[in-house]
Structure 1
Amino acid sequence: MIPMRDGARLYTAIYEPVSKSEKHPILFTRTPYRVGSYGNEMSSDLWNIWRNYSKEGYIFVIQDVRGRWMSEGKFVNIRPFNPNKKTAKDIDEASDSYDTVEWLLKNTDNNGRVGVTGSSYLGFYSVMAALSNHPAICAICAQAPAIDWFMGDDIHHNGAFMLEDSFGFLSSVDRPRLALTTTQSQAKPYYLNDDYSFFLKSGSLKQITSLLGDSIKFWNDVMAHPNYDSWWKERDCRRYCYNLKPAVFVVGGLFDAEDCYGTWGLYKAIKKQSPQTNLSIIMGPWSHGQWKSKEANSVGNIVFGKGLAEFYQNEAEFPFFNYYLKEKGNVDTQNRVLVFFSGENQWRKFTEWPCKQVVETPVYLREKGTLKFALPTEKRSYTEYISDPWHPVPYSEKASRSRSSDYMTADQRFASRRPDVISFETGPLTADLTLGGEITVDLKVSISTTDADFVVKLIDVFPDDFSSDPKNAGEKQSSLMDGYQMLVRGDVMRGKFRDSFERPKAFTPNTPATVSFKLADIAHTFKKGHRMMVQVQSSWFPLVDRNPQKFVDIYHCKESDFVKSTIKVFHQNNLASRLILPVLK
């Protein structure tokens, strides 16, 4: 029970090597999910994801964060960083990291060097440790860090509420703890059928909130902050990434359904705000946390190759910590960016990201469902669909009770068949087309109501006579891949935030407007003979909550506020809808 500066004590499991032949580095992780080693229990991480470090004689430290499980104090979700701490009462996750490291230096047989690691929520705590500015913290490995729960990570994307993830996460993790405990009561079984049916029958967000009662504090906080106000902004840890002293290794997956945004966002923030920091990033073809598994060769139906997780664990993360904490081996100081390009299934090295070889290239939605690199010439041209919030477009063809991680590469043919999804497609490509970076969506639209969401998906359409990559011979293919429509990247924009996330604005019915937003960075090669497709729709359920399509407070509106909307997407000369692609030359 390590004491913090304000008197709260945090439960910490410490594993020290028996050997005293040398001083040992410390590998430290902080978690809200349970240390998992109370009393005589042993953490399986020691011989699972930390087996390399065990052989090297590291000291392992795992801590329940403040207010969780066996740690004292009050738990606060994504507790804001306080850059102006003046008294012992001014605490945050950075100060808790600092105080823990101070204690460890005095009470373990260490070499004075500390590395901090963690994935997802634990990645956020790793960033907080970097912000603590403790001189003994030499290296940070922030894996899929949650950095901004309004703009792009677990809770919202571009102001649209990520319903299924938020409900599942907060109804479980955010339940109040009445006393220090090593166990937690079983979460209430809300689902009586599949996720789509459950959330549709549950009604508006106001009705869904009533299911949770008044005990899930952060859910209620979210409902009270529908816009991008100061409450959200102070929880964006990117705002404080200046003058970071430790080496930082950012890790993530191209097909991470939870925190792909956070991975790219943290890297870019540090690169801009702390250029002197020893900064590197690896982005592999992984779902959330898949790089820590024994095998990470595919996501859903898409096979990427063998040994990808082992490569990360043995050739990337382990050498990073061993270099900075034990001065053993070396790290590549020139090529600091290592990115796996799906489609071609190859790693590429760069000195920075976005890379200088990218040429921003517009591709235009055109009439008759075509997609072309030439500006339209038509004076009047559009495609329209009717969006009905009582029959929303599902995000997945599967029926399940939890959000599937493999929707990030899933076949979109099921969506192509719906009348409320419009598709635009190139002809077969005559040469490989490689994209590396952020995609800008620039839609010209009109709607018959006062609000709507816009979901845009970039899709790789496989040839009808597709044959798999010979490098993947022997890998089981569980789906018909001929004509497969692989989702490469998709995201949602809540229309009322099109001009400002702080000050939402209603649409004027049947009047053209611009909806522009970013899709998180991709690294993908559309192979010769494949087609590129763009899909546009106005619901993605229950991944994203339903927009009533009225300009109202969505978190507190009634079911009677839900209305159909006729959506027009223009593709004419003076209203040319397009995507700006990062073409890698």
Structure 2
Amino acid sequence: MNKYLLKPQMWWLLSAFVLLSCSSHSQQNSFVKDSYKKYEYNIPMRDGTKLYTAVYVPKDASASNKYPILMKRTCYNSAPYGAGKFPSINRLGPSKFMVNDKYIFVHQDVRGRWMSEGTFDNMRPQLTGKDKKDPKKFDESTDTYDTIDWLVKNVQFNNGKVGQWGISYPGFYTAVGTLANHPALKASSPQAPVSDFYFEDFHHRGAFTLAYFPIIPVFAYQKTSNTTKSWYNDKFPRTDEQDGYDFYLKAGALKNLNKYYGDDNFFWKQFKEHPNFDEFWQKRSLLPHLKDVKHAVMTVGGWYDAQNLYGPLNIYKNIEKRSPNAYNTIVMGPWTHGAWSRVKKEEIINDIYFGDYVSEFYQSNIEFNFFGKFLKDRKGINLPEAYMFDSGTKKWNKFDKWPSPKATKVKMYLQADGKLSTNANDNAGNEFTEYVSDPANPVPYIEDHRMEVIPSDRYMTDDQRFAGRRPDVLVFQTEALTEDMTLGGEIMVKLKVSTTGTDADFVVKLIDVYPNDEKAHPKLAKHIKMGGYQQMVRSDIIRGRFRESYSKPKPFKANKVTEVSFPLQDVMHTFKKGHKIMIQVQSTWFPLFDRNPQKYVPNIFEADDKDFIKATHRVYHSKKDQSYVEVQVLKK
């Protein structure tokens, strides 16, 4: 019997996009049912489309005891449906602390999903120009406005203040909802928000996130009627293969995956038709629209979010840039996708222990206070602009601005014989280091080859020794540090490269190398050994054809030295005394991302198997052609 890449009855349990849970404890359910009344509405939008909305009102609400509204808009579902059915305490609001504190909680299915009318559009473009003034034209921000307007006028005993929150795709709806600028909207918290499908989730700087292939049906089919049941379960691809690396390698070129999806899969079709950052993707990017935000925003993300690290960092930065008068804050913690919403005693990712009750601290001291300050007018709450967790020291840090203006930019030069130095004058010896990249033998992104339904979060902190042993991975590292070195902010990569082919990908990893005598934390499993561990700190990929423009790809000229520059996302990490800093460079990262044929073809989604060739890539480190990674160093 065939096995699903993604078991349909469990897709929303497994997917890092969907943070809902079927299970609930009867005690938690009874608390919600005992404390809240539930109402279901179909709220009309300006074009007449009605959106299903569940409203949970505290039973003690009255004319003399009013509550603020806290809303989540989602494409996943607003279950449980039915006036007599209640979610668990952990699903009703952002946290049990918020539910106990009592708000009027609102869950809404967005346009075209589940019990709401209309047509679904991934990352629906924002209205621009004269369309913004057309009373019948709509986007996600107008749907947010219309919903808020209806709620404050029709839900009894609200105090006239509205907040919104959401994680992952609902985080996008929260972020785009900031543009509604309804006078009642006072606080928004986009959490792990999607901001641009070309630079996160399904693409990273032009490379297609192949590991997402099994999850595409969730976002790729229109429902035919309002429903409480998923309508895409029979659309998931099937295979007997248990080894994900082998499955995708045997599949070959991307075009060979077409057999798994029909023409009615509009999302897969969009990927194939728009391989470049063209108008289709540009108008779906939220970031340029984050202007004139007037209320308080707290964006939340995880340093080890394999899906949406780009979103929270860049939403914060763009609001800071484009809406300078907004109360704009950011929180980044030691979490995978949405993990801050789940309380657990020990915060452990893969082999790295980050502390106890980190998520509970966030929920009870940061999130609780943010909404309390702006929706309940609680006094004496002072929130920093940036609450950043140092993933090296395992401690929270507060900043008045991010990145800190006190940070100093330092270039770390790639050098001959695998050296990494802050001194450019150390460049001596061979002018380049080269490696052969073979698409038929790509570098795995994790040692574990099991079939995954989405990218494994493990790779974000994984021990990179398995990669460094390969001849197609270049390794550069410093001597052991004589004092702690704290990095805080964006990382910029500048490579001088050449290739015997006409296209190439480049993956750059920043790694913390532990001393050989490092002891494992006592809360880790006994078999884990940390001596010599090479912990990933930050990494990313660029498709080389987009080195000058993401909308106008350009082939390489064979054997010509060419600059390839791109940023890695921000870090807050202290490399401790005795540790080493390592940079790895490679050209495949499989099957996290699709393989580059290394022979330029106009559209890699249409490449043939015969187009994939071996190529020799050189990374230069001479005085004339310097390659480096620029970091931002924070002095204590």
Structure 1 length as normaliser, TM-score?
Answer: 0.96
Tell me which residue corresponds to 1:183.
Answer: 229
Residues 421 and 183 of structure 1: is their aligned pair in 2 closer, same or farther, counting only changes over 3 Å? same
Tell me which residue corresponds to 2:358.
Answer: 308
Residues 263 and 248 of structure 1: is their aligned pair in 2 closer, same or farther, counting only changes over 3 Å? same
Give the deviation of 1:369 after TM superposition: 1.1
Q: Distance in 2 between matches of 1:550 and 1:82?
A: 39
Asked whether the 8 Å contact 2:175–2:190 carries over to 1, the reply is yes
Q: In structure 2, the residue corresponding to 1:456 is in which secondary structure?
A: strand
Tell me which residue corresponds to 1:19.
Answer: 60
Give the deviation of 1:41 after TM superposition: 2.5
Tell me which residue corresponds to 2:208.
Answer: 161
Q: In structure 2, the residue corresponding to 1:323 is in which secondary structure?
A: helix
Give the deviation of 1:20 after TM superposition: 3.0
The alignment status of 1:91 with 2:138, answered yes or no, reads yes
Tell me which residue corresponds to 1:567.
Answer: 617
Give the deviation of 1:475 after TM superposition: 4.4
What amino acid maps onto 1:282 in structure 2? V
User: 5+ unaligned residues in a row in structure 1: which ranges?
Assistant: none
Give the deviation of 1:473 after TM superposition: 4.2
What amino acid maps onto 2:85 in structure 1? E
Asked whether the 8 Å contact 2:415–2:428 carries over to 1, the reply is no
Tell me which residue corresponds to 1:392.
Answer: 442
What amino acid maps onto 1:162 in structure 2? T
Q: Distance in 2 between matches of 1:571 and 1:398?
A: 33
What amino acid maps onto 2:170 in structure 1? L
What amino acid maps onto 2:190 in structure 1? A
Tell me which residue corresponds to 2:117.
Answer: 72
Per-residue CA shift, 1:559-583, capped at 9, x if unaligned? Answer: 1111111011111111111111111
Q: In structure 2, the residue corresponding to 1:305 is in which secondary structure?
A: strand
Q: Distance in 1 between matches of 2:393 and 2:290?
A: 34
The alignment status of 1:41 with 2:41, answered yes or no, reads no
Asked whether the 8 Å contact 2:73–2:166 carries over to 1, the reply is yes
Q: In structure 1, the residue corresponding to 2:54 is in which secondary structure?
A: strand
Q: Distance in 2 between matches of 1:478 and 1:144?
A: 32
Q: Distance in 2 between matches of 1:92 and 1:384?
A: 49
Per-residue CA shift, 1:67-109, capped at 9, x if unaligned? Answer: 0011100000000111442334311111111111111112212
Q: Distance in 2 between matches of 1:456 and 1:54?
A: 43
The alignment status of 1:419 with 2:467, answered yes or no, reads no
Residues 49 and 130 of structure 1: is their aligned pair in 2 closer, same or farther, counting only changes over 3 Å? closer
Instruction: Name which of 519, 532, 557 aligns with 1:483.
Output: 532
Q: Distance in 2 between matches of 1:348 and 1:286?
A: 15
Instruction: Name which of 267, 271, 289 aligns with 2:320.
Output: 271
Tell me which residue corresponds to 2:497.
Answer: 445
Q: In structure 2, the residue corresponding to 1:38 is in which secondary structure?
A: coil
Asked whether the 8 Å contact 1:79–1:92 carries over to 2, the reply is yes
Per-residue CA shift, 1:170-223, capped at 9, x if unaligned? Answer: 123323312211011534343422221111111211111332121221221121
Q: In structure 2, the residue corresponding to 1:309 is in which secondary structure?
A: helix
Tell me which residue corresponds to 2:306.
Answer: 257
Asked whether the 8 Å contact 2:416–2:430 carries over to 1, the reply is no
User: 5+ unaligned residues in a row in structure 2: which ranges?
Assistant: 1-41
The alignment status of 1:429 with 2:481, answered yes or no, reads yes
What amino acid maps onto 1:230 in structure 2? E
Judge which range, 184-193 or 28-37, deviates more: 184-193
Give the deviation of 1:49 after TM superposition: 4.2
Q: In structure 2, the residue corresponding to 1:16 is in which secondary structure?
A: strand
The equivalences for 1:313-352 within 5 A come to 313-333=363-383, 335-352=384-401
Q: In structure 1, the residue corresponding to 2:227 is in which secondary structure?
A: coil
The equivalences for 1:516-535 within 5 A come to 516-535=565-584
Q: Distance in 1 between matches of 2:93 and 2:179?
A: 28
What amino acid maps onto 1:322 in structure 2? G
Asked whether the 8 Å contact 1:452–1:538 carries over to 2, the reply is yes
Q: Percent identity?
A: 46
Q: Distance in 1 between matches of 2:288 and 2:412?
A: 33
Tell me which residue corresponds to 1:2.
Answer: 43
What amino acid maps onto 1:409 in structure 2? T
Q: Distance in 2 between matches of 1:293 and 1:46?
A: 10
Q: Distance in 1 between matches of 2:145 and 2:594?
A: 39
Give the deviation of 1:128 after TM superposition: 1.7
Asked whether the 8 Å contact 1:379–1:573 carries over to 2, the reply is no
Q: Distance in 1 between matches of 2:430 and 2:552?
A: 32
Q: In structure 1, the residue corresponding to 2:447 is in which secondary structure?
A: coil
**Please, what is the CA RMSD of the aligned residues?**
1.5
Tell me which residue corresponds to 1:492.
Answer: 541
Equivalent pairs, count: 579
Asked whether the 8 Å contact 1:191–1:401 carries over to 2, the reply is no
Asked whether the 8 Å contact 1:461–1:532 carries over to 2, the reply is yes
What amino acid maps onto 1:71 in structure 2? S
Q: Distance in 1 between matches of 2:280 and 2:94?
A: 36
Q: Distance in 1 between matches of 2:71 and 2:542?
A: 37
Tell me which residue corresponds to 2:106.
Answer: 61
Q: In structure 1, the residue corresponding to 2:536 is in which secondary structure?
A: strand
Q: In structure 2, the residue corresponding to 1:85 is in which secondary structure?
A: helix
Asked whether the 8 Å contact 1:460–1:487 carries over to 2, the reply is yes
Q: In structure 1, the residue corresponding to 2:605 is in which secondary structure?
A: coil
Q: Distance in 2 between matches of 1:478 and 1:219?
A: 42
Instruction: Name which of 210, 225, 231 aligns with 2:274.
Output: 225
Q: In structure 2, the residue corresponding to 1:573 is in which secondary structure?
A: coil
Tell me which residue corresponds to 1:101.
Answer: 148
Instruction: Name which of 604, 628, 631 aligns with 1:578.
Output: 628
Per-residue CA shift, 1:231-268, capped at 9, x if unaligned? Answer: 21111111111111120001001111111111110000
Q: In structure 2, the residue corresponding to 1:257 is in which secondary structure?
A: coil
Asked whether the 8 Å contact 2:303–2:309 carries over to 1, the reply is yes
Give the deviation of 1:56 after TM superposition: 2.4
The alignment status of 1:172 with 2:222, answered yes or no, reads no
The alignment status of 1:138 with 2:138, answered yes or no, reads no
Per-residue CA shift, 1:20-51, capped at 9, x if unaligned? Answer: 34111111000001111211321224567432
Give the deviation of 1:330 after TM superposition: 3.8
Q: In structure 2, the residue corresponding to 1:27 is in which secondary structure?
A: strand
